[in-house]
Amino acid sequence: MGIVAVCGSFHKTEIELMLTFAKEEAAKHSLEISEVIWVPGSMEVPLAIKRAFTNNSNLEGAICLGIIEKGETQHGAAMGHGVIKSVIDLQLEFNKPIGLGIIGPGAEQHHIVPRLEPHARAAVNAVVSMNSL
C-alpha cells in the first residue's frame, strides 16, 4: 500500500524537487509514494486523483503538488478555488486523505522557491496525520 502523488507538469523542474522532498518525508513515516501521475497543471489534479482512487482501492491517500501563479486576471484564483473544492469533495467521496501541496493561487516568483519543501512535506504529513486518526 502507498499513496499516489499527482504532479502538475507546468512547473516541472520545481515540482520534481517537491516530489523529492515528498518522497523523503514519506520514507520518514514508512510510507511509500507508490505511484506518480503527471498532469498538465493543477486543473487536472482532481480527475487524476479520482481515477487513481477508483482504479486502486489499496491506496492510503494522495498528495497533489503544483503551483498556481499570480496572473494578470483572476483566472488562477478561480481555478485554484475550484481545484481545492474538488479535492475536498474527493476526500469525502472516497474517505481517503489528500495532502494539498499546491503553492498558490496567487504565487509570485519570489514565493515559489521558499515554499517548495514545506508544502511538499506538509502534504505528506497531512495524509499521515489523517490516517492515524
Half-sphere exposure of 47 (CA within 13 A, CB side): 8
DSSP E strands, the chain: 3-8, 33-39, 61-69, 98-107
Q: Which residues are catalytic?
A: 75
What cell was used for 128?
499521515
Amino acid identity for residue 34 in this structure: S
State how far the Cα of 11 lies from the Cα of 103, in Å rounded to an integer: 11
Nearest to 78 by CA among 51, 104, 99: 104
What cell was used for 9?
507538469
